[in-house]
Structure 1
Amino acid sequence: MFGDMMGMMNKLRETQEKVEATKERLKTVTLEEKSSDGLLKVTITAAREIKNISIADELLEDKEQLEDYLVLTLNKAIQKASDIHEAELAAVAKDGMPDIPGMDEMLGK
């Protein structure tokens, strides 16, 4: 039993290291989101860090329109990055979880 506990602890530590490595890798994965007409482009990492915003000159003439474009496009970019971030971390965590009898039932799976 003690050996099983040590094995589980080692597996959890390995999983934690993999999660941290995945978080670092996600900082290098970039995504691009554009407004529907392509006048605004946002580059964001899967770690949800904005890297670049490109704005067409014609959007600079209308402050309200630019603000609307920014809100919509940034929200889409952040959502896309969040989806990738969460999926990647969930896959690493699920793969690394020790096999604990009865855990699936406790988690409702």
Structure 2
Amino acid sequence: MDEQRFGPAGPYEIGSTTWPGLAKLAEEAGELVQVLAKLVGTSGRTEYYDGTDLRARLVEECGDVMGALAFFTETNALGPAVAARADAKLALFRQWHAAG
């Protein structure tokens, strides 16, 4: 969806000087949670009752969150610390999955 901006950026918006990108990250994360909840509600089936392809939506929303997170961490100088934490967490998740 194309979005058009009107006026100066408010706090937390892309273009602001106060935590730029935070609002977009929260919005995108919320949209991902909605898709995840639908997958839980369908016991993992990817066809939703309205015909929506939840797998396709999942791909879109994961990509949107990853983009918003990359922008947010880069713009707010959080990148290296967040990347280190993400690497450690990913290793832990892999351990849990292997032990599954």
| Smaller-chain TM-score bracket | 0.3 to 0.5
Structure number with higher relative contact order (C-alpha < 8 Å, ≥ 6 residues apart): 1
TM-score (norm 1): 0.35
Give the structure with the larger strand fraction. Answer: 1
